[in-house]
């Protein structure tokens, strides 16, 4: 008995061995497996079948249905080998059972004929087809049976694994079976208590059963255990990271009764919505505490995140510390300066702006003032992350539209001070399950309500039209301009590059200027323009000196021009739902109703479904849920997951309950043993490190 645990532990380390240690995996198969991303033993064990052939039904030859999967038992009455063409051999083995006849058919497998002789009792399994009025199974799974035997190799549920050139489905099944035989008996890393509480199968049985279930229902149990693992391990990692970030560090306890914050609260530029008020108090409570803040402010476009952030900036200034506020584009960073700057001025808070196009003289002046602490608030772009930017006492970092930044950049800003309070803001409504998966290390404040009088969505009508209706859309633009409003024309998203996209926009602007709106002032904004030109164009648009702004998706982020009420989007089916929703958020921001006009000619069901969703759904969260379902989570997650442990089985759409369980279990576990040091949790700690791999530092660094 004593040596069994050792053997099992060895099996576990062997999971990281190259897949070539598995029997039958020779050099050629190693190369073929690599094409499927299978490099280690574990990769092969986790190469889960994508479907199952249920061959458990054993009807008589008379009963068996054409088109069904089944196992039939009969006696061979005839074996025939035909050669209809020079390179084609067909082997037909006819069987009878007293109720009917069926053929087993093999192509170019002459040895099949040698396996069977008239009088043999056999089982054939597979999909039943009809050919020349005769039932047949092509390339059946077959076994010879003794007189009294029941089928053992057939008449079961057979997994179908993704195969590749050089390794057939049958071989793949065999290789997986080999790997399971040699390596699946490993210690279970999940604490027994949880396994029992959640009624989860042991790891070894789950692994075996997900590949080779006795019956279909078993695969479901196995899947649930393994999907739980994926979610649980990720959530434990996030919980540990969160713990390290907020529970173990001493941050700056900000003062909440200083002059700037008091003035802002006593005399706000407008009265806050209920959601804004709640978000402000959640944020300020975090900031007053010694636990560093790690919070996301999640609110649709136009819900008023900026004023909420202003409260945090004021608290930092009152504490005689510093705040940095980072935006993903220069247009947006300049907009802060433009809109928040004057507010900060009235509160007596010294601030400045730093972007890539700040002149070098101004830049060194700014760097000096930031380093000596005479600037309390620094707005900017990625430029803030540069090493030369050093703060005297950074205590708050605000990252806007944070989905545009990678994890590393989020951390970069935090690293510019000691235990900095982090506030990340995003206008991309994220389905709850996705938020928990991607940002489970953050607390979240939601803004769902819109400031009164500007209920943007109900205020914007969305129309999807075929491109042939262009003239009528342009008429809408002209009417709006005549009424004193402004419009956007958004050019098609071009896959290849921003350069190509910019070119398309330039052409479109020329066309509109020449042929359509020759009497209007048409401007152009692309990602390729020089920063100074971009700024000038935005100023002109904001000042009303441009009627129609032709733009690429650079306007998606944060641009606020309340007088713009019409937006026309070309080739709308090329945009994701979230992106369209963001674009829509740019209009109807003022008192005037907005019109969102989409030219679309969707050629796929998915495209049509997306157009239908954007036209009928105003709520960003609901759209995000629909987007997740339509595009599939693989795509949504893949874009943003940054090497976090993979979710192969767990679905953010179907496994919401399992995710909640896994998260609750993870949080509870980490709160009692934040470093997974108790004996009971050591196997889990090991598993976590294996799965997070290179991202482990991210988990443990905070």
- Cβ nearer to Mg ion, comparing 431 with 558: 558
The two structure tokens encoding residue 446: 């939601």
Q: Which of ligand ADP, Mg ion, none binds 103 (CB below 5-8 Å, type-dependent)?
A: none
Three-state DSSP class for residue 530: coil
Q: Which of Mg ion, ligand ADP, none binds 303 (CB below 5-8 Å, type-dependent)?
A: ligand ADP
Distance CA 337, CA 355 (A): 11
Smallest distance from ligand ADP to CB 342, Å: 12
Three-state DSSP class for residue 602: coil
How crowded is the C-beta side of 506, counted as CA atoms within 13 Å?
9
Distance, CA of 423 to chain centre: 21
Smallest distance from ligand ADP to CB 278, Å: 12
Q: Which of ligand ADP, Mg ion, none binds 597 (CB below 5-8 Å, type-dependent)?
A: none
- Cβ nearer to Mg ion, comparing 251 with 558: 558
Distance CA 580, CA 571 (A): 11
Smallest distance from Mg ion to CB 327, Å: 8
- Which one of the spans 178-186, 305-313, 486-494, 677-685 is the region binding ligand ADP (CB under 6 A)? 305-313
State yes or no: residue 560 binds ligand ADP (CB under 6 A): yes
Which of 71, 63, 62, 53 has the alpha carbon at shortest distance from 137? 71
Q: What angle do CA 647, 650, 656 make, to 5 degrees?
A: 125
Q: Which of ligand ADP, Mg ion, none binds 94 (CB below 5-8 Å, type-dependent)?
A: none
Smallest distance from ligand ADP to CB 590, Å: 8
Give residues 574-613 in contact with ligand ADP (rule: CB under 6 A): 589
- Cβ nearer to ligand ADP, comparing 211 with 542: 542
What residues are paired with 71 via a beta bridge? 125
Give residues 266-285 in contact with ligand ADP (rule: CB under 6 A): 270, 272-273, 276
Out of 74, 94, 251, 451, point to the residue binding ligand ADP (CB under 6 A).
Answer: 451
- Cβ nearer to ligand ADP, comparing 184 with 426: 426
394-399 and 421-426 beta bridge pairing: parallel
Which of 616, 691, 599, 594 has the alpha carbon at shortest distance from 648? 691
The two structure tokens encoding residue 686: 């090991």
Give residues 399-438 in contact with ligand ADP (rule: CB under 6 A): 427
Q: Which of ligand ADP, Mg ion, none binds 352 (CB below 5-8 Å, type-dependent)?
A: none
CB nearest Mg ion: which residue?
Answer: 558
Which of 434, 430, 424, 313 has the alpha carbon at shortest distance from 379? 313
State yes or no: residue 585 binds Mg ion (CB under 5 A): no
Three-state DSSP class for residue 395: strand
Q: Which of ligand ADP, Mg ion, none binds 156 (CB below 5-8 Å, type-dependent)?
A: none
Q: Which residues of 66-77 are buried (b: 16+ CB within 10 A; e: fewer)?
A: eeebbbbbbebe
Residue 274: other Cβ atoms inside 10 A: 10
Give residues 14-53 in contact with ligand ADP (rule: CB under 6 A): none
- Cβ nearer to Mg ion, comparing 186 with 308: 308
Out of 56, 136, 303, 459, point to the residue binding ligand ADP (CB under 6 A).
Answer: 303
Smallest distance from Mg ion to CB 660, Å: 30
Three-state DSSP class for residue 16: coil
Out of 305, 311, 414, 691, point to the residue binding ligand ADP (CB under 6 A).
Answer: 305
State yes or no: residue 306 binds ligand ADP (CB under 6 A): yes
Q: Which whole-number Å values give the CA distances from 148 to 73, 101, 121, in the listed order?
A: 12, 21, 10
Distance CA 407, CA 440 (A): 13
Distance CA 671, CA 663 (A): 12
State yes or no: residue 429 binds Mg ion (CB under 5 A): no
- Cβ nearer to ligand ADP, comparing 296 with 307: 307
Distance CA 504, CA 95 (A): 67
- Cβ nearer to ligand ADP, comparing 307 with 333: 307
Q: Which of ligand ADP, Mg ion, none binds 355 (CB below 5-8 Å, type-dependent)?
A: none
Distance CA 449, CA 373 (A): 37
Out of 104, 126, 159, 304, point to the residue binding ligand ADP (CB under 6 A).
Answer: 304
Q: Which of Mg ion, ligand ADP, none binds 270 (CB below 5-8 Å, type-dependent)?
A: ligand ADP
Which of 344, 187, 82, 50 has the alpha carbon at shortest distance from 685? 187
Distance, CA of 549 to chain centre: 32
State yes or no: residue 558 binds Mg ion (CB under 5 A): yes
Distance CA 626, CA 158 (A): 34
- Cβ nearer to ligand ADP, comparing 301 with 347: 301
Smallest distance from Mg ion to CB 305, Å: 5
Distance CA 496, CA 612 (A): 26
State yes or no: residue 302 binds ligand ADP (CB under 6 A): yes
260 CB contacts (<8 Å, ≥6 apart)?
314, 315, 317, 318, 347, 348, 349
Residue 426: other Cβ atoms inside 10 A: 21
- Cβ nearer to ligand ADP, comparing 305 with 478: 305
State yes or no: residue 455 binds ligand ADP (CB under 6 A): no
Q: What angle do CA 321, 327, 328 make, to 5 degrees?
A: 145
Size of the site for ligand ADP (CB under 6 A): 16
CB nearest ligand ADP: which residue?
Answer: 304
- Cβ nearer to Mg ion, comparing 558 with 588: 558
Taking the alpha carbons of 178, 180, 181, 186 in that order, is the dihedral positive or negative? positive
State yes or no: residue 104 binds ligand ADP (CB under 6 A): no
- Which one of the spans 4-12, 268-276, 557-565, 662-670 is the region binding Mg ion (CB under 5 A)? 557-565
Smallest distance from ligand ADP to CB 331, Å: 13
Residue 58: other Cβ atoms inside 10 A: 17
Q: Which of Mg ion, ligand ADP, none binds 304 (CB below 5-8 Å, type-dependent)?
A: ligand ADP
Smallest distance from ligand ADP to CB 457, Å: 13
Contact residues: Mg ion, CB under 5 A: 558
Contact residues: ligand ADP, CB under 6 A: 270, 272-273, 276, 299, 301-307, 427, 451, 560, 589
């Amino acid at each position: 008995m004593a040596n069994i645990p050792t053997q099992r532990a060895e099996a576990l380390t062997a999971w990281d061995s190259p897949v070539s240690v598995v029997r039958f995996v020779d050099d050629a198969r190693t190369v073929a497996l690599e094409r499927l991303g299978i490099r280690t033993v574990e990769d092969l064990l986790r190469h889960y079948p994508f479907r199952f052939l249920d061959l458990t039904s054993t009807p008589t030859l008379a009963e068996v249905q054409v088109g069904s999967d089944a196992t039939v038992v009969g006696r061979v009455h005839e074996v025939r080998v035909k050669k209809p063409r020079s390179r084609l051999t067909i082997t037909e083995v006819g069987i009878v059972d007293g109720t009917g006849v069926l053929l087993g058919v093999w192509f170019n497998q002459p040895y099949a004929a040698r396996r069977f002789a008239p009088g043999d009792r056999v089982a054939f399994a597979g999909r039943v087809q009809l050919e020349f009025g005769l039932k047949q199974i092509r390339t059946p799974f077959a076994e010879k049976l003794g007189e009294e035997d029941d089928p053992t190799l057939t008449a079961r549920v057979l997994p179908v694994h993704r195969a590749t050139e050089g390794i057939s489905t049958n071989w793949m099944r065999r290789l997986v079976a080999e790997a399971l035989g040699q390596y699946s008996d490993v210690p279970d890393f999940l604490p027994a208590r949880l396994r029992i509480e959640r009624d989860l199968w042991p790891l070894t049985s789950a692994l075996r059963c997900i590949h080779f279930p006795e019956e279909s229902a078993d695969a479901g149990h196995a899947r649930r255990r393994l999907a739980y693992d994926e979610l649980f391990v990720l959530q434990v990692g996030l919980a540990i990271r969160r713990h390290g970030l907020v529970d173990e560090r001493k941050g700056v306890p900000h003062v909440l009764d200083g002059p700037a914050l008091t003035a802002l609260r006593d005399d706000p530029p407008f009265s806050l919505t209920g959601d804004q008020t709640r978000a402000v108090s959640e944020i300020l409570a975090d900031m007053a505490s010694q636990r560093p803040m790690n919070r996301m402010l999640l609110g649709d476009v136009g819900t008023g995140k900026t004023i909420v952030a202003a409260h945090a900036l004021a608290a930092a200034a009152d504490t005689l510390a510093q705040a940095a506020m980072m935006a993903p584009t220069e247009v947006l960073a300049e907009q802060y300066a433009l809109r928040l700057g004057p507010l900060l001025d009235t509160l007596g808070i010294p601030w400045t702006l730093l972007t890539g196009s700040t002149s070098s003289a101004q830049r060194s002046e700014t760097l000096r003032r930031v380093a000596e602490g005479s600037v309390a608030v620094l707005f900017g772009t990625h430029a803030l992350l540069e090493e030369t930017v050093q703060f005297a006492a950074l205590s708050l970092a605000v990252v806007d539209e944070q989905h545009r930044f990678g994890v590393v950049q989020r951390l970069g800003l935090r690293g510019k001070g000691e235990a900095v309070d982090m506030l990340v803001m995003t206008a991309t409504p994220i389905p709850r399950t996705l938020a928990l998966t991607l940002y489970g290390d953050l607390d979240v404040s939601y803004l769902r309500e819109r400031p009164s009088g500007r209920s943007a969505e109900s205020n914007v009508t969305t129309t999807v039209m075929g491109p042939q209706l262009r003239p009528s859309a342009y008429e809408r633009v002209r009417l709006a301009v005549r009424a004193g409003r402004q419009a956007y024309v958004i050019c098609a998203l071009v896959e290849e590059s921003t350069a190509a996209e910019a070119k398309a926009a330039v052409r479109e602007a020329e066309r509109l200027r020449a042929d359509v709106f020759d009497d209007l002032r048409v401007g152009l904004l692309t990602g390729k323009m020089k920063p100074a030109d971009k700024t000038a164009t935005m100023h002109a648009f904001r000042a009303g000196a441009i009627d129609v702004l032709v733009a690429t998706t650079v306007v998606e982020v944060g641009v606020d021009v309340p007088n713009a009420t019409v937006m026309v989007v070309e080739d709308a089916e090329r945009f994701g739902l979230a992106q369209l929703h963001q674009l829509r958020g740019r209009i109807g921001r003022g008192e005037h109703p907005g019109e969102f006009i989409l030219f679309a000619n969707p050629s796929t069901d998915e495209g049509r479904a997306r157009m239908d969703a954007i036209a009928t759904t105003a709520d960003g969260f609901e759209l995000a849920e629909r987007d997740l379902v339509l595009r599939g989570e693989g795509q949504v997650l893949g874009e943003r997951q940054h090497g976090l442990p993979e979710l192969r089985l767990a679905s953010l759409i179907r496994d919401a309950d399992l995710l909640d369980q896994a998260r609750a279990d993870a949080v509870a576990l980490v709160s009692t043993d934040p470093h997974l040091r108790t004996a009971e949790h050591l196997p889990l700690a090991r598993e976590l490190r294996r799965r997070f791999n290179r991202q482990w530092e991210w988990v443990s660094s905070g």
